[in-house]
Amino acid sequence: MFGFLTNKRRIEFSDISRILEGIKVVKIRSCTGLFCTYFNLKDENLSYNEIMALISNSLGLRPNIISEFVEGEYREIGLNGEREYRLDLSFGRGFRRATIYGVNK
């Protein structure tokens, strides 16, 4: 695995919009308990507001999900020059989670 790089850090809700501006979102996974919903967005170019609305609707959250946000983690993964990005977000009491997968724009 030559050239493998991983960078992981905790994020605040205010960091999400800045991160999403720099990547192309290709997939979203949202889970409530054991039930997960997947959205394949390879051919879409959604804005930050559209992405957050998609997550809040799939998790059954209010439109203003800032108040539900608990914690987040951001990972930057690289292998042989390719970069992938992953945002793991938790809402409410930990039963509602969303993972945003992205690549370089």
**Per-residue pLDDT tens digits for 26-58:** 999 999 988 999 999 988 888 888 998 899 889
Q: In what order do the strands lie in the sheet with 69-79?
A: 5-11, 69-79, 82-91, 96-104, 23-32, 35-40
Q: Which of 5-9, 62-66, 100-104 has the lowest mean pLDDT?
A: 5-9
- Residue pair 17/49 in contact (Cβ under 8 Å)? The answer is no
* Structural domain for 100, as ranges: 5-104
pTM to 2 decimals? 0.84
Question: Tokens representing 45?
Answer: 């170019």
Residue 64: band (very low, low, confident or very high) from pLDDT cuts 50, 70, 90: confident
Side-chain-side CA neighbours of 85 within 13 Å: the count stands at: 17
Q: How far is it, in rounded angstroms, from Cα 21 to Cα 104?
A: 10
Domain count, the chain: 1
Q: Look-up: residue for tokens 């720099």?
A: 22
Summary mean pLDDT of the chain: 85
